[in-house]
Structure 1
Amino acid sequence: MKLPLLALATLLLHNSLPVHATIRLPALVGDHMVLQRDTKVPIWGWAAPGEKVTLTFQGKTYAAVPASTGKWQVTLPATPAGGPYTMTLRGQNTLTIQDILVGDVWLASGQSNMELPLRDPNAPKPNSYPVVVHAEQEVAAANFPQIRQFTVKKQVSNQPRLESEGYNWKLCSPSTAGQFAAVPYFFARDLHQHYKVPIGIISSPWGGTPAEAWVSGEALKVLPDFQAKVVEVEKQTTPENNDPNTPTGLFNGMIAPLIPYAVKGIIWYQGESNANRAEQYRTLFPTLIKDWRGRWGYDVPFLFVQLANFKETEPEPAESDWAELREAQALALTLPRTGMAVAIDIGDGKDIHPANKQDVGHRLALVARKVAYNDKQVVAAGPTFQSMRVTGNKVQLRFTDAGSGLQVKGSNGVLKGFAVAGADKKFHWATAKLEGQQVVVSSEAVPTPVAVRYAWASNPEATLYNREGLPAAPFRTDQWEGVTHGKK
């Protein structure tokens, strides 16, 4: 079928590399950028096909010849942390990039809890966005010129885009910090203060979006639930799309153009928009992780925030789609070089956007130190269920990641949030006690227990921690059919 001339022209404009007689660079490559240390770093751009392009960095000059498409690429050798440096590119024109730092670069993506700004009075925000705790004091103290953020412009596309617009690299200062995404800022601050190296954040989230919007069409088509939807998207004759919920649309518009910019790792905070399809997320989320890693060409550390507590508390044990989504997130930890920050104790039952972003960023930074920086001494997670043993009407629970020991927090020293069930699958609140490095639970209503759940609710009461102050991850020992079973 022939495309209308206007549609064809639009398609070529957005998805072909136009030929230019002068060197042109992607938005990511510019003044104040942070380059990834200790690894090879690709720098790319466009020029006239066959035009000789040279790039000079740290006293060495590298040459490239654009392909027929006009694209060229140079790979810089591994460089230790440092700067500021200058980069000069020459062809028919000359470009100079100044104030370049070499440190660690992190891509931050997901939905609104990764997007929420520290404090930006000039930016329109949804009425549901709260003010981050102590925002005024945080902004006033944010004098970290070696922390820098590049914000990707929101863009949905039916086909992978070759370029993405952005809002330039901004240095962190009291005059700019309010515009920084809060979770990435606190994450970057922790790492910067600990490792004393520059930290660059590439911020590419979009509030309210589902995970399937962030997966490439090629990877998404492997999943039966999304095959037909992706095919329909790919049939579109123009790349423009205004719906951020479109499967693969945000990968095409906001992730594909960032590749292959070298990164230390990825932080991800998303899942609220997929909670009603939590069982599906068990497959979808690992697909996203493996897809992005395949695009970058290496096992990028992938760290994520488990959904915070939200909604009304339940008086009795009940099923929960949010609990099932948290379980789906935790199952992704079977993939190598992944890590999870638990947030069930720092949410807000009445606001899906909790104001406490400091603890989220800090916990992600602990996970980064463990997973991405290979710090074997850091305690990065709270108690994690390991095994259970039934003795009469009691169940003994063992945990890993107990740190220097288990402890009870809140509820006047009483362990709460545990429920037990017998073969009838009816859960009852349990009495729970610490016995050394174990938790022992029982209920008079369940003489023969077969299953235990902890913090299995949309807004659970978190009481079990390690002595390092990190909460136990929610868990269940059963595999009974949940409320999101079969939902697409």
Structure 2
Amino acid sequence: MPRRVNAGSIVTIATTVLATTASLTAAVAPAAANPAPAATLLPAATASAGGSASAAATACDAAAAGFTPVLQLDLPERASYLNETPPYSLDRTAEIGSNFDRVGYCLELNGPDGPQWVWTAMEPFSNDARRIGLPTRPGELVRQRVGDLEVRSNVPSVTSGTGQTGYLEMWPNQYQESASTQVANASPNTFDVDDNPTSPLGYGSFQVSQVGPTRPSNLAAKQVFSINTFTESDNSLLSLGIGTNLGGQPDWTFANNANRYSQRKLTAYVRTALVALTESPQDRQLIPRDTSGGSTVPVAGRVTDSRVKRVQLRVTSNGKTETFTSSSSTFRFTPRIKAGLQEYTFELRASGPGIDRVVARRDGVVSGDVYVVQGQSNAEAAKYSGAANAEESPYLRSYGTSTSNGTISGADRVWHYATGDVTNQSGSVGQWAIRMGRRIVDTYKVPVALFNGAHGGQPINFFQRNDANPDDLTTNYGRLRERLETAGVISQVRGVLWYQGESDNDNASVHVTGFTSLLQDWRSDFGSGIPGGSRYYVYQVRTSPCGNTTAMNLREAQRDLGDTAGVTVLSTNGLSGHDGCHYAYLGGYRDMGDHTFAVLARDLYGGPSAGVAPPNPASVTASGSELTIQLRSTDPLTVDAGSAADFRVEGAAVTVSSVTYQPGGKLVLTLSGPPAGVTGLTYQGHNSAGPWITNATGTGLLAFTLPVTS
């Protein structure tokens, strides 16, 4: 059950993979191959497999006109439904199968405040009628925004109306009050409309909320209804309510109040489908742009009701609408959308004698670019000091969750807004990644999808692919790969950004062997649809990070990867917001995002090249009492006073007294004495703040160890 643990309470989730979501991209379930006979509703008296012949009348009957009741349950005071099907008095899910295009719920309570009821209907979050009831088995997880929410209620605190945005939290698990930040104005300190499912099973959440349509939003998020505690095993009273709980946890968690109601009835409804879709975007989906500067977005399916004589698709953006029409029983439209800062709405309408209905609507579809972030904790880039939430944008997206739990990860198969300050939750991408993405959005006016698969504190073998099963959700590689695959972007990854190595403890050979294998798998799996393939970027880690022994062997090996592996090496020197392990936002992750943006802009967007490449030495020569470092670039550098202390001379008892930059890409080091016997020169940089040698973008000189020649 939810229980207090330090900063968070826990309430939790499941163990098999939820493969169906609100996605219209998913194939229609087998039941749709034999659609029900043409009818507005299934016959009300048809016998059901698990309950009585028909549903009892509800207070929502008028609001539910056009819908078919398929599940009905008199909620008990106490329940322990984990791994069991609740004892529905009506269960017609086998008849419905996947033949529905809208889902509705009616919750009726009668207690000290008199009869209370709420009706809500929404786009389907699953194409399987068996998944619209209480989630009681592992993997039955829904955590997503839904559009076109309708709400009606006699409870004053519930906002009645249509065209609203909703948020669903449905699982058999325990959960924490920590927020994913997907919902504006939700709290990370209370159980409310945005909580975090965790691994243990055995509490249960079945909640529908009203939220603002945008992030940020000035609308307060609030509950429509909540039913909790139905998979708890300790005989606890159910916790439930309509609207927001003003006397405890806002979503009724811990309320244990079922015994105050004499009536507790839940009825689930569906609206029978008129068409079966086989191709279509999801809400908020980013579709990779092609070389023509946009994307083709197929919408296809077949008519399942003989009364439908015409199917029409309307694609709207910035007040302009393009219309596609078909009178065939099967249809496939292929509209084009532009890669720019504009969202598209897809609305599919079916019509015929006595019928004129919107059968599918998808909002916020964009065309843009895809990037992958991978590695350990500095790739996760959680909020350590300072927030990155100001970098969020409606044009920054992500898909699924980077959590290490394969069941939770596998159940999250919808598009989210990208968020930078939290980790291992829906849409979390890390602080420097969201800064980098925002710079691309603002500068080049193209939406960006970020997929973060990082996991803190792990050596390089943790990230390897299971070649026998590349989509193995028990592996880090499999969880990331499967997200990219189901999002439809795996062959369109423009760049992979890798920050890892601290946990390899300066074992250069193990790191290079592991990275070489990983890079080979990436090149096999990612970016085959991109002209020239994906680009790969490797961050050189900082010195002695997080108590690990990362001296110079591994860092020099990472620098060499730029020559031996065909990757671009990025520097983390020059970032003064380093705490010896991680980074503050200001002076740390924010600046890292800016440096990365500059390199991506140069490589992929035609941006400027001057002052962008990390300063990288080519050779070191000795002459008199000086050493001269010849850099690979002639970009001017800034040398802070005191930078000499970061150099170490090998083979002679001399030190570096001063450093100056000379035109032509030279760093001249004055020694404390003649360089007789000098064999090598090492530059490590240092932890935390201090003097740096940086280029025009503030990127620091790469750490290196090189031989010295006369």
Shift of 1:173: 11
Distance in 2 (CA, whole Å) between partners of 1:381 and 1:446 is: 30
Moved more, 21-30 or 464-473: 21-30
Distance in 2 (CA, whole Å) between partners of 1:85 and 1:456 is: 48
TM-score (norm 2): 0.47
Distance in 2 (CA, whole Å) between partners of 1:305 and 1:115 is: 13
Shift of 1:409: 1.5
Q: CA, structure 1 residues 267+185, in 2 after alignment: closer, same or farther (shift >3 Å)?
A: same
Q: CA, structure 1 residues 383+155, in 2 after alignment: closer, same or farther (shift >3 Å)?
A: closer
Match of 1:288 among 518, 533, 540: 518
- 8 Å CA contact retained: 2:404, 2:476: yes
1:375 and 2:603 matched: no
* More helix, by proportion: 1
* Aligned residue pair count: 400
Residue 485 of structure 1 corresponds to none
Shift of 1:401: 2.9
Residue 182 of structure 1 corresponds to 431
- 8 Å CA contact retained: 2:573, 2:701: no
Residues 416-450 of structure 1: CA deviation (Å, up to 9, x unaligned)? 3122223xxx7753234326232233353752322
Cα RMSD after superposing both structures: 4.9
Q: CA, structure 1 residues 190+371, in 2 after alignment: closer, same or farther (shift >3 Å)?
A: same
Match of 2:590 among 355, 358, 377: 358
Residue 667 of structure 2 corresponds to 439
Distance in 2 (CA, whole Å) between partners of 1:324 and 1:76 is: 53
Distance in 1 (CA, whole Å) between partners of 2:494 and 2:655 is: 43
Shift of 1:368: 0.8
- 8 Å CA contact retained: 2:418, 2:428: no
Q: CA, structure 1 residues 31+435, in 2 after alignment: closer, same or farther (shift >3 Å)?
A: closer
Residue 65 of structure 1 corresponds to none
Residue 540 of structure 2 corresponds to 306
Distance in 1 (CA, whole Å) between partners of 2:417 and 2:373 is: 15
Structural mapping, 1:94-109, within 5 Å: 96-109=361-374
- 8 Å CA contact retained: 2:502, 2:541: yes
TM-score (norm 1): 0.66
Residue 275 of structure 1 corresponds to 505
Residue 397 of structure 1 corresponds to 629
Distance in 2 (CA, whole Å) between partners of 1:354 and 1:173 is: 14
Distance in 1 (CA, whole Å) between partners of 2:282 and 2:325 is: 18
- 8 Å CA contact retained: 2:400, 2:427: no
Matched AA of 1:131:
S
Residue 165 of structure 1 corresponds to 412
Residues 258-313 of structure 1: CA deviation (Å, up to 9, x unaligned)? 13513332222222222342222123223322321211225212223321345599
- 8 Å CA contact retained: 1:33, 1:99: yes
Q: CA, structure 1 residues 360+156, in 2 after alignment: closer, same or farther (shift >3 Å)?
A: same
Shift of 1:31: 1.1
Q: CA, structure 1 residues 98+189, in 2 after alignment: closer, same or farther (shift >3 Å)?
A: same
Distance in 1 (CA, whole Å) between partners of 2:524 and 2:378 is: 26
- 8 Å CA contact retained: 2:559, 2:569: yes
Distance in 2 (CA, whole Å) between partners of 1:427 and 1:312 is: 31
Shift of 1:462: 5.3
Structural mapping, 1:26-175, within 5 Å: 30-39=282-291, 79-87=338-346, 96-118=361-383, 130-132=384-386, 135=387, 138-139=388-389, 141-142=390-391, 144-155=393-404, 165-166=412-413, 168-170=415-417
* More strand, by proportion: 2
Residues 94-128 of structure 1: CA deviation (Å, up to 9, x unaligned)? 6543210112222222222222344xxxxxxxxxx
Segments of 5+ residues of structure 1 without an aligned counterpart are 1-9, 49-53, 63-72, 119-129, 219-230, 242-248, 314-318, 480-488
Give the secondary-structure state (helix, strand or coil) at the position aligned to 2:342: strand
Give the secondary-structure state (helix, strand or coil) at the position aligned to 1:154: coil
- 8 Å CA contact retained: 1:321, 1:458: no
Q: CA, structure 1 residues 254+173, in 2 after alignment: closer, same or farther (shift >3 Å)?
A: closer
Q: CA, structure 1 residues 467+453, in 2 after alignment: closer, same or farther (shift >3 Å)?
A: same
Residue 3 of structure 1 corresponds to none
- 8 Å CA contact retained: 1:85, 1:100: yes
Q: CA, structure 1 residues 182+396, in 2 after alignment: closer, same or farther (shift >3 Å)?
A: same
Distance in 2 (CA, whole Å) between partners of 1:240 and 1:109 is: 16
Give the secondary-structure state (helix, strand or coil) at the position aligned to 1:144: coil
Residue 617 of structure 2 corresponds to 385
Q: CA, structure 1 residues 173+252, in 2 after alignment: closer, same or farther (shift >3 Å)?
A: closer
Distance in 2 (CA, whole Å) between partners of 1:278 and 1:352 is: 19
Moved more, 267-276 or 361-370: 267-276
Q: CA, structure 1 residues 367+90, in 2 after alignment: closer, same or farther (shift >3 Å)?
A: farther
Residue 561 of structure 2 corresponds to 332
Distance in 1 (CA, whole Å) between partners of 2:498 and 2:312 is: 33
Distance in 1 (CA, whole Å) between partners of 2:312 and 2:501 is: 42
Percent of residue pairs identical: 19
1:407 and 2:618 matched: no
Distance in 1 (CA, whole Å) between partners of 2:565 and 2:333 is: 30
- 8 Å CA contact retained: 2:416, 2:426: no
Give the secondary-structure state (helix, strand or coil) at the position aligned to 1:217: coil
Q: CA, structure 1 residues 178+378, in 2 after alignment: closer, same or farther (shift >3 Å)?
A: farther
Matched AA of 1:440:
V
